[in-house]
Amino acid sequence: MTISIQRSHNNETQTYNVELENVTLLTVLNHIKTSLDPTLTYSHGCRSGVCGSCAVRVNGREQLMCEYKPSDGDEIEPIRNGRVIRDLVVDSSMVEQCNRAGLAWSEKTKEEGVSAKSMEQIETQSDCILCASCYSACPVYAANPNFMGPFTLTRVWRYVNDPRELNIESKMAAIQTNGIWDCTLCGACVPVCPQLIAPMQDIKMLRMKSGMLGYPDPTMSFGGGFDLGGWDF
Amino acid sequence: MSKVLIIGSGGAGLVSALSAHEAGAEVIVASKTLPTRSQTSMAQGGMNAALDCDDSVEAHIADTLKSSAGLGDESQIAFMCSKAPEAVRWCNRIGLPFSRNESGEIARRKLGGASAPRACYAQDYTGLKLLHTLYDQCLKAGVEFKNGRFLLNLITDREANRVLGATFLVIETGEVEEMRADAVIMATGGYGNLYGKHSTNSVQASGDGLAAAVRAGARLADMEFIQFHPTALKGSSILISESARGAGGYLLNANQERFTDELAPRDVVARAIHDEMAKGGIVYLDIRHLGEEFIERELPQERKLAQIYEGIDPVHELIPIKPSAHYSMGGIEVDAQCMSAVKGLFAVGECANHRTHGANRLGGNSLLELVVFGRECGRNASEYGEKYPAPLLENLQYAKDLNFVRGVMYFTNQIDFYQKQQMLANIFYNNVGLVRDDMGLKAVLGAIRQMQKELPFMGPRDKSKVCNTNLVEFIEFGNKIELAEIIVVSAISRVESRGAHYRIDAPVRNDTMFGAHTITWKEDGVLCADFIQ
């Protein structure tokens, strides 16, 4: 099997020929690193899809290397929208930056009186492994590098929608700028999530919640016709 | 205000960080990865706590003590178990989304060796959700993270036997960095990755913290005790959680017959599987009778991983399994305050030996341990640093380590360390695994000593300064070799069988001779060992 990998030292793709069948891409890269080319650089950890270290792009689509089985001719490149440190290793500081900006944590909780059903509502969102696949797939970064992005907004919704949470106001305020309104609802983040989370849906939920709390919808604030109609009277 | 340096960012490190921060310390967490990539993310089963009237703290203590096979400390275990309900409530308070039962209470399941269902869980993602919840809280608290720092050595004042800080390789730049602190907390996890492809652990579990601690004068305890998880996928050693058996899964031999009590403690089940494999070549886990709906709801990870790695669907097919190295009971010897033999150096979680697991850990007690002792450790370290600020002494460690990082590039590379690493994993699995004997252990010791001599003839082949993971993996290999010797010497010295340490040439427990902890340390670089109560 032949696979090609984007290398950073010369900005070219390098092709490797490996005699391995029916194994994960991570197994292939481990084989390359330990027996063919020790300079090939990538991140990995758990081998089982929970540590979020090994997201890359395969033929233009985000995949976890430990869950993807490669086929002949596959092209591997680092995930997008982050600074490439070396080969497939991308600076992960966006995780901390974005989650801090969105105040993506619990502020204050009540302990009692939650139902199994209401806790199930945040089950999927709290499955997130912060692999940044959604961040890589998001086209908004071309226009706004300060966008909080899909994984942070999913995490904010996870806390806002948590039946135990008592203080959602600061979070809802934090996501008004560079947050929910910068999303174009294109949905590119949805199919790439290895945990089957749909950040776009979570962003829509946050927008609804925002409206209920009285925040204006800036995507409706111009060109909508209401204002002009009013002034002429 | 004291400055506390925490090395490692898994559950133990992050709980300590929150606790030290709460106690008023300035906290820095240095870690070789992004915190959420730590091994804690892999913990599935749950966190033990006696929460209601069907269970009791006394029963939790008794089960833990029994499983520890004489090496658990009763007061440490009683402390952990009595703090367990509050630890679970604390996790719930900071946002850990536990699964619930029908009446909305935190759901519990029964794991091996437990007399009641007491493992509180979040689907089969308990560790993942705990780790992320803790990380979110650390960001809220403003804890400072220094990621991509690979621990080289502790900085110590040898005469005063006092830790002063640590040195790190900054992985991205290849530079060496010194960090000073009033107290240092080691929270670097276990050494399961010594077993390589025969381990359920993350590739990062190379025991870097333990190796640095023993070099700095700390003592290690009970290093020969390594827990083998009964059910890992046969080909890849990927973990199939104990909750699969807790929910009623069967173990079947080559004739598809059951052969053991699936919910006995892990050492017993793992050895039963080992014996069946020796007879019939293969053992399966059968969860087909639990039904698709149940498997999809409670064991979704397991199903996915069995499909990817074994190409089978557990809803319809048997899962081929084998026991794999899973948890390091041994660790840095610490007192009830979590402080090691080096003043100001604390240790917590899997890299420490809190004497709670003894010779065999119960499922559900490791996440509990890191929460209970993490909270203690962070506060103790903060108070220690406040009381005894570290003097700003000149120290040669930084210069030494800088020299090493430069010099290692000139190692000759006649011998491929990746091959040696794989060999180490294989001989450890075969001879320092579930069943051991004197001859096999001594053969491994010979091989380790040979590898130690050969280290200068190995080395990184990648000469890049930037993000050189080949270099990082080589230093990790050096740490593994250092610990391997200690583990094997401990296993040779303990001529009896107890918990996870089973000697076929001495199959009986011998409390008169060995009812004590195996303590190991280094005197001027020479390994010493003794049994100490």
Smallest Cα distance from B323 to chain A, Å: 17
* pTM metric for this prediction: 0.96
Residues in chain B with pLDDT < 70? Answer: none
Give the C-alpha separation, B416 to B438, whole Å: 29
Is B207 exposed, middle or buried (CB count within 10 Å of its CB: 0-12, 13-18, 19+)? buried
Position A122: which residue type? I
- Are B265 and B502 a contacting pair, CB within 8 Å? no
Residues 92 to 121 of A: which have CB under 8 A from any B CB?
A: 92-93, 95-96, 99-100, 103-107, 109, 111, 113-116, 119
Give the C-alpha separation, B269 to B285, whole Å: 12
- Are B228 and B355 a contacting pair, CB within 8 Å? no
Residue in chain B closest to A51 (alpha carbons) equals B37
Give the C-alpha separation, B199 to B228, whole Å: 8
Residues paired with B29 in a beta bridge: B6, B145
Q: What is the ipTM, given to two decimal places?
A: 0.95
- Asked if pLDDT for residue A230 goes beyond 90, the answer is no
3-state secondary structure of B88: helix
Q: What is the pLDDT of residue B315?
A: 96
* Residue B308 sits at the chain A interface (C-beta within 8 Å): yes
Give A228's pLDDT tier (boundaries 50, 70, 90): very low
Q: Under an 8 A CB cutoff, do B104 and A129 touch?
A: no
The residues of B that are catalytic are: 266
Residues 51 to 70 of A: which have CB under 8 A from any B CB?
A: 51-53, 67, 69
* Residue A216 sits at the chain B interface (C-beta within 8 Å): no
Question: Among A41, A104, A126, whose Cβ lies nearest the Cβ of B469?
Answer: A41
Q: Under an 8 A CB cutoff, do B95 and A162 touch?
A: yes
Q: What count of other Cβ atoms lies within 10 Å of the Cβ of residue B450?
A: 10
Give the C-alpha separation, B329 to B222, whole Å: 7
pLDDT tens digits for range B102-150:
999 999 999 889 999 999 999 889 999 999 999 999 999 999 999 999 9
Two structure tokens written together for B33? 């990865």
Residue in chain B closest to A91 (alpha carbons) equals B172
- Give B398's contacts (C-beta < 8 A, 6+ positions apart): B155, B167, B176, B178
Domains of chain B: 3-224+327-387 (3.50.50.60), 226-326 (3.90.700.10), 397-518 (1.20.58.100)
Element (H, E) at B309: helix B300-310
Q: Under an 8 A CB cutoff, do B311 and A22 touch?
A: yes
Smallest Cα distance from A50 to chain B, Å: 6
Give A229's pLDDT tier (boundaries 50, 70, 90): very low
Q: What is the pLDDT of residue A113?
A: 79
Question: Among A24, A69, A111, whose Cβ lies nearest the Cβ of B92?
Answer: A111
Q: What is the pLDDT of residue A222?
A: 56
- Asked if pLDDT for residue A226 goes beyond 80, the answer is no
Q: Where in chain A is the domain with CATH 1.10.1060.10?
A: 93-220
**The domain defined by A93-220 carries CATH number 1.20.200.10:** no
Architecture of domain A2-90: Roll (3.10)
Give the C-alpha separation, B185 to B171, whole Å: 21
- Among A181-185, A194-198, A220-224, which is the least confidently predicted range? A220-224
Q: What count of other Cβ atoms lies within 10 Å of the Cβ of residue B102?
A: 9
pLDDT tens digits for range B53-69:
889 999 999 999 999 99
Q: Where in chain A is the domain with CATH 3.10.20.30?
A: 2-90
Give the C-alpha separation, A18 to A40, whole Å: 14
pLDDT tens digits for range A52-66:
999 999 999 999 999
What percent of chain A is modeled with pLDDT above 70? 94
